[in-house]
Amino acid sequence: MGLGMAQTLAGKDFDVLGFDLSAERCTAAAASNVGAPRELPEIFSAADFIVFSLPTARDVAGVVNDHIEQLGRRSDRRVIIIDTSTSEPDVSRELAQRLAAAGHGFLDAPVSGGPGGAATGKLAMMIGGTEEDVALARPVIEAMAAKILHVGPSGAGNVAKLVNNLLVAAHMITTSEGLKLAAAAGVSPEAALRVINAATGRSAISEIHFPTWIMSERFDSGFSMGLMRKDVRLARELTERAGADLPLTGLIGQIWAESAGRLADSDDFTRMGDFRTPAASEKKVATNG
């Protein structure tokens, strides 16, 4: 995702400085119009806008805390960090407060649209932060995203993304079970999917993910099981902190957590929708029998 966004920005005449811990990604960046990777101290000292695309909230906080001093406190330079990671609302709020005290801005701006959306500048971005910082960062945001939704203050973007991904996780399970039911009842899953996508049971998962990555057995959407498990876990934790009574959320979380017994974190998350594969509980019963 990060490389795709960097390439999109460079292709729209932004002067892009890139960094990644992965030597492979740095090589790919150097071979593209992003140019040779730079060290983080240089990026924090020179950039006006810094775009994050990191796995966890801990990674986001670690980078900010290690390099915040390099942003400086000069009144003539206000740096805006645009964090496109799916992170934790409380961490984003804390970082926004710390950066504001130093005269800089922080937007939690998780995205939807996958690697394809990142590479074409057609992401959907849900943003938490101040109106002032959103306005300052708008040229960069508009270069990366086709749909820009300012949800509210710091943390609001993360909340909206966790709600979205919780629904994605649920739709992956329910669509798979619906197709498994159709097959068990003697109806072609392909025919059933066509009906779903022409009727009210459809979702982005049934319309895009199943035809593209599951029915074709490609399973290469670019989003991993580990990342989706992390997002579902964060949604469950948010549910507990908010004191919301959401029994289905608990069940979704349990199903995704238990899938670790048959699907590795490195597997593509679309494998969770493979209705041809027996569920973990079914495998267990067969083994014990």
Q: Give the catalytic positions in this structure.
A: 161
* DSSP annotation of 222: S
With b for 16 or more beta-carbon neighbours within 10 A and e for fewer, the 248-274 pattern comes to: ebeebbebbeebeeebeeeebbbbbbb
Tokens describing residue 203? 């979702």
How many residues in the chain? Answer: 289
Torsion sign over Cα 158, 163, 164, 170: positive
- CA-to-CA dists, residue 222 to 38, 85, 88, 118, 226, angstroms: 25, 15, 22, 12, 12
